[in-house]
């Protein structure tokens, strides 16, 4: 049985207020968009992240990604078992994928994706692109050297000491 302690409603509000505070601080600092996230385990903040896209010229430098990376580093694992993620806004498709890979217990968010769209952070086109066939996507997705690429998959499949994730 999982021995990790999940937050109460009062604690959830406290942690969300911290994510909101960080998002406001990030806007004021000029280091990125109005987004922040924290990872909590057993009522303690393990990691904080803020949007750093324009500051670092890294399109993957979203708040959730930074918080997940730092939390995993602090825990010494690639999964966030027993953790909660608090983010100032409903995660974009990239962050949503990272969240599912990290497997926290639950995610809390403040603003909705509709709220984000109203201030020109509209990810709806990505959600739409994901559902399209490869040939109908805006950015061409072209498979080449499939048989050669399979070599790594075959090697992985035969590997006896692999760590599954």
Catalytic residues: 64
Q: Which residues contact 4 (CB under 8 A, 6 or more apart)?
A: 41, 42, 81, 82, 83, 105
**Residue (of 39, 161, 22) closest to 88 by Cα position:** 22
Are 70 and 47 in contact, with CB atoms under 8 Å apart?
yes
**Residue (of 76, 73, 72, 105) closest to 5 by Cα position:** 105
Are 125 and 159 in contact, with CB atoms under 8 Å apart?
no
Are 49 and 67 in contact, with CB atoms under 8 Å apart?
yes
Tokens of 12: 């959830």
């Amino acid at each position: 049985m999982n021995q990790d302690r999940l937050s109460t409603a009062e604690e959830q509000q406290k942690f969300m207020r911290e994510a909101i505070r960080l998002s406001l601080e990030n806007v004021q600092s000029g280091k990125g968009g109005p987004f922040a996230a924290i990872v909590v385990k057993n009522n303690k903040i393990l990691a904080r992240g803020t949007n750093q896209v324009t500051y670092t010229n890294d399109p993957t430098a979203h708040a959730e990604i930074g918080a997940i990376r730092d939390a995993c580093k602090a825990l010494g694992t690639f999964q966030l078992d027993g953790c909660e993620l608090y983010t100032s806004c409903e995660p974009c498709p990239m962050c949503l994928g990272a969240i599912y890979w990290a497997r926290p217990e639950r995610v809390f968010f403040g603003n909705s994706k509709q709220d984000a769209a109203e201030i020109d952070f509209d990810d709806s086109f990505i959600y739409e692109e994901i559902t399209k066939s490869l040939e109908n996507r805006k950015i061409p997705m072209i498979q080449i050297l499939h048989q050669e690429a399979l070599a790594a998959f075959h090697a992985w499949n035969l590997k006896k000491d692999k760590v599954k994730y």
